[in-house]
Amino acid sequence: MNTPTQKSTAVVALGGNALLRRGDAPSFTNQLANIKIAAKAIAEIAKEYQVAIVHGNGPQVGLLALQNLAYDKVQPYPLDVLGAESEGMIGYMLAQELQNLMPETEVTSLLTRIEVDPNDPSMLDPTKFVGPVYNEEEAGILAEANNWTMKRDGEFVRRVVPSPKPLNILDKKSIETLLNAGEIVICCGGGGIPVRKTDYGFTGVEGVIDKDLSATLLAKQLKADKLLILTDADAVYLDWGTENQRALRATTPSQLSEYHFPAGSMGPKVEAAADFAQFGGRAYIGALEEGLDVLAEKAGTCVSA
């Protein structure tokens, strides 16, 4: 997976909720403060690994969608365009903060298109949370006014949108070229921009790809050594939220298949980690602040075959 003279390659998946924490006002100031924390953690990882960063965009793209509705003299922009907007915004902020911390290292943020199946089952059964959280009354009003689908996210309610599975990273060669040049690469942001193949090339798809599944696809296509999924939980837990909750520290894809994890939160992370472990790599799930310890298997959850 890596030559003797190269650092090991790690794909780092950074949750959108880590960049705009649950309950935070969705302001630039709050997001920048969280991005500074994320950049500091990733900079430590980048000292020991060649890093490709995949970030989420659920809160951000949902906010853009709300802002999109405020100006009603034009049709709202589709989700793939809003995803590209959020990818550019977050990528710029992350790149700048990483470069400030590591001035001798080149950092590039790359808008990334990812092919999906327009007939993916999720197009009819949305599961991807976007935007802020609401109470029941607020959610009902917004759902009726905008024809949105809403689902429960913990004690709150949020909008959900289609989340087709990623099939192919169209910009993989550019990512490889940048990594081989020794750069930190921010790519597949928000899971990447969903596009579908037509007789005339590619066109956008109305959806938001899950960033953990895109990170796994990237790790497999790059033949990376490790996949690190950073989240607001310090590990994968069984019986989460009960007095019997317990952390899984080392597990396998077959063991994980025996349990159920929520589709809107830990489910895609577990699926992504198990998929990469079956591919032959080592996958990790843990807290942002413990990134290096998670990779060293001193914290978090390690998934291996």
Catalytic residue selected from 57, 83, 91, 128 = 128
Q: Is 269 a catalytic residue?
A: yes
Catalytic residue selected from 16, 62, 131, 264 = 16
Per-residue burial over 217-241, b if 16 or more Cβ lie within 10 Å, else e, is: bbbbebebbbbbbbbebbbbbeeee
HSE-up (13 A, CA, CB side) for residue 19: 28
Q: Is 34 a catalytic residue?
A: no
Contact between 232 and 285 (Cβ < 8 Å): no
Residue whose entry in the numeric block shows the structure tokens 């914290």: 299
Q: Distance between CA 211 and CA 222 in Å, rounded?
A: 16
SS3 content of the chain, % helix, strand, coil (to 5): 40, 25, 35
Catalytic residue selected from 17, 34, 57, 68 = 17
Contact between 84 and 111 (Cβ < 8 Å): yes
Q: Is 280 a catalytic residue?
A: no
Q: Is 146 a catalytic residue?
A: no
Q: Is 197 a catalytic residue?
A: no
Q: Distance between CA 52 and CA 50 in Å, rounded?
A: 7
Backbone angles phi, psi at 132, to 5 degrees: -75, 175
Catalytic residue selected from 165, 211, 220, 226 = 211
- Residue 167, Cβ density class (10 Å: 0-12 exposed, 13-18 middle, ≥19 buried): middle
Backbone angles phi, psi at 41, to 5 degrees: -65, -45
Which of the 8 DSSP states describes residue 67?
A: H
Helix 172-180, helix 211-222: angle, nearest 10:
60
How distant, in Å, are the alpha carbons of 31, 186, 193 from that of 165? Answer: 27, 20, 12
Catalytic residue selected from 269, 286, 291, 300 = 269
Which residues are known to be catalytic?
Answer: 16-17, 128, 211, 269
